[in-house]
Structure 1
Amino acid sequence: MSYAAAVSQYQSASTFGGVIEATPHKLIELLYGGLIDRLAQARGAIGNGETQTKLRAVSSALSIVDHLRLSLDKKAGGAIASNLEMLYDYMARRLIEANASNNAAMIDEVLQLTRELKSGWDAVATS
């Protein structure tokens, strides 16, 4: 087994173990972190002209945004959940546009929004 394959296998097992033991709050935190990682990958792939890598990263990012949207509890969350749903919809549309036009600035916009959301979510955990 190559070093890269071993590292990949470790990361996969480590992530799976972290998800199994995670609280609902931690799962959202992990989703935000994963989204930031995928957006950074997409951004780098656009800069390097790596179309396949960009497609995989954007597809994965869209999947994470969809999971975040589906995790919203509209009854308990009220207006905040509704606003987040609209924001997630906006982010998904921007990612689709960015993918179609190879627009790194749109990826950066979604990346900034995600960082702000993650920062707010992380602050909730410390309260």
Structure 2
Amino acid sequence: MAIEPITENELYHYTPEQLTSLLYDSCLARLGQAAIALEHGEYLEVNRQLQTCHDILHRLGGGLNYEAGLIADQLEALYQYMAERLVYANVHKDRSAVLEVHKLLATIQDAWTAACRKRKDAQPVSARMRAKAYDTEYDFAAGNVNLRE
């Protein structure tokens, strides 16, 4: 799975929920790349991918909202565990540890996606319409209106 670059300008239009999803996507893709590189003995690539995943996990941990209660503490512990497993996988070239982290993170991502979808669906129609009003871009010079989805 290729990781498509995102411009800085595009990032400013993302919600915190979307940014978290992007981090999950990127980390999962890189874990997959690391697992393939391990199969082929490409250890420099493995190291590069796993270090990036380690950094992503720390960013995810740093973005936790501890006012959310116990779930934030549990996610922090999971992120820390996964980061430790990636260090182990990198040092010992252990593909099973990479796959374990991939499976855990995919489960967390699935739950995150479902929670975001449920939250969006739970918004009243009037709130969704007000939020969508800000998704309209006007190019007055060209006379174009672009509705972003």
Match of 2:83 in 1: 92
State the TM-score, normalizing by the size of structure 1.
0.86
Match of 2:58 in 1: 66
CA distance in structure 2 between the aligned counterparts of 1:15 and 1:84, rounded to whole angstroms: 28
The yes-or-no answer on 1:38 pairing with 2:35 is: no
Cα RMSD (Å) = 1.4
> 1:106-121 residue pairs with structure 2 within 5 A?
106-121=97-112
Percent identical? 32
CA distance in structure 2 between the aligned counterparts of 1:37 and 1:18, rounded to whole angstroms: 20
Which one of 78, 89, 95 corresponds to residue 104 of structure 1?
95
Match of 2:19 in 1: 27
The yes-or-no answer on 1:83 pairing with 2:74 is: yes
CA positional deviation for 1:21: 1.1
Instruction: Look up the equivalent residue of 2:95 and give its one-letter code.
Output: A
Q: Which has the higher contact order (CA 8 A, sep 6+)?
A: 1
CA positional deviation for 1:77: 1.7
Structure 2 unaligned spans of 5+:
119-149
Q: Which 4+ stretches in 1 moved above 4 angstroms?
A: none
**Higher strand proportion, which one?**
2
Structure 1 unaligned spans of 5+:
1-7
C-alpha offsets along residues 4-43 of structure 1, whole Å, 9 cap, x if unaligned? xxxx9xx43x354442210000010000001101101111
CA distance in structure 2 between the aligned counterparts of 1:117 and 1:70, rounded to whole angstroms: 16
CA positional deviation for 1:73: 1.4
C-alpha offsets along residues 79-120 of structure 1, whole Å, 9 cap, x if unaligned? 000000000010000000000111000000000001000000
**Higher helix proportion, which one?**
1
State the TM-score, normalizing by the size of structure 2.
0.74
